[in-house]
Structures are given as C-alpha cells and as structure tokens.
Amino acid sequence: MTRDDAYRRAETALLLVDMQRVFTEPGLDPAHVAGPQDEAFYRGLAETVIPNQARLLRAARAAGIEVLHTVIEALTRDGRDRSLDHKLSGILVPRGAPEGAIVDALAPGDDEIVLPKTSSGVFNSTNIDYVLRNLDVRYLIVAGIVTDQCVDMAVRDAADRGYLVTVPRDACATYTAERHEAALRAFGGYCWTTDTDTVVRRLEELA
C-alpha cells in the first residue's frame, strides 16, 4: 500500500475546506484586513483554485463518491461556543450569517454533508471521523483554504487516523505563494500531493 494507491469508489470521499464567502471575498473577514498584498490570493482563488475545485466536485459527483464540506460557523449568534483560539483571533462567523455561505460555484448538493466547525482542525471540532468511518471512507481528497492552517490540520489529522490523503496542490491556497509552497512541503509526508488534472482523471476512471 502507498499513499497514491488507486481510489475505490465505495471508500473515497472529497472534502472541501472552508470555501465560504467570508474567506474568498475581500472585506468580509473581520479577522483579516485585506490589502494590496492579498490581490494575488483573491485573484488565484477566482481564476484557479475555485475553478479547479469545481472540476473536482463535478468529477466526484459523476463518480458517485461522497462529498463533504466544512465551514467555519458558530453554533450560536454571538459565538460563545467558539474555540479559545478563534475567540483570541477574532474569528466569528455567526450561525446562519450570509457571509458564511459556501461560494455559489461549490454550493453543496441536497444530500451532501456540511460540517460546521469552530477551530482550525475539522477533526477536533466536528464528528467527521465518526461520519467518515460510518461511510466506510479510506481515501480522502482534501482541497480548500487556507493551505497552511485549516487544510494543513485536516491533512495531518486524517493521516494520523488512518486515512490515505490526497491533496491537489492547485486546488488549495493561502495568502502568499511562499506560505503555500512551505505548507505543501511541511505536510507532504502525510499525504499524496498531486494536481487537479490527475485527481480528476482518477475519479473519471471510477465513473
């Protein structure tokens, strides 16, 4: 067995991490004041990352594999249930806030799972491990934002729990290219790092 083993339809899932308006549209995230230095980040999301994720999403749906979405969203309007880190960092997406919605291009299907979380690590603040095991998932494809925070934690925690993780590098992003590349190098030992074209081809083979 290797990290790039061929997928099995009944054991494969796509996880899209935090692809919400608040983090993809400048000016909506109170914890991150967007400036000229972020232009490349938002342009990359619009021109490359979101389109690549949309391709992954279409391929996953066509192949009939499970699709899961994470969103940062408090269980309360005032965010009193948030993790200490989110409180200290000023990260608050109130329950039901319109800016917390997933971007239209990646909107969840009627029967796709959406997991709200209040920490960087989806395995820490949701029951995703329980859900994935109930779904008999072994191969987990992870894409999203930001590469060196929430994506990083999803990859490492999934690997530690026995999942074979795939990360398409061009379907993830963080605020600078340097941070993105450093993150990929740092967690590369926990996953198979590849590109969207390769993952889509593999998913098409399952369809």
117 flagged as catalytic: yes
CA atoms within 13 A on the CB side of 175: 11
Q: Is residue 56 part of a domain?
A: yes
- pTM of the predicted model as reported, rounded to 2 decimal places: 0.96
Residue range 89-108: mean pLDDT, rounded: 95
Q: What is the CA 10 to chain-centroid distance, rounded?
A: 21
Query: Is the pLDDT assigned to residue 168 strictly greater than 90?
Result: yes
Q: Is residue 1 part of a domain?
A: no
Annotated catalytic residue within 29, 117, 152, 157: 117
Cα 189–9–131 angle (5° rounding)?
70
150 flagged as catalytic: yes
Query: Is the pLDDT assigned to residue 8 strictly greater than 90?
Result: yes
Q: DSSP characters for 170-206?
A: GGEE-SSHHHHHHHHHHHGGGSEEE-HHHHHHHHHHH
Alpha helices in the chain (DSSP H): 21-24, 39-44, 50-63, 84-89, 122-125, 128-134, 152-160, 177-187, 196-206
Over residues 9-65, the pLDDT tens digits come to: 999 999 999 999 999 999 888 777 677 778 999 999 999 999 999 999 999 999 999
Q: Is residue 142 part of a domain?
A: yes
18 flagged as catalytic: yes
- Count of structural domains within the chain: 1
Q: Is residue 134 part of a domain?
A: yes
Q: Is residue 4 part of a domain?
A: no
Q: Is residue 115 part of a domain?
A: yes
Annotated catalytic residue within 29, 148, 150, 157: 150
User: 37 is in which domain, residue-wise?
Assistant: 9-206
Q: Is residue 2 part of a domain?
A: no
Query: Is the pLDDT assigned to residue 187 strictly greater than 80?
Result: yes
Q: Is residue 3 part of a domain?
A: no
Check residue 30 and give its pLDDT: 75
CATH number at residue 57: 3.40.50.850
Band (pLDDT 50/70/90 cuts) for residue 190 is: very high
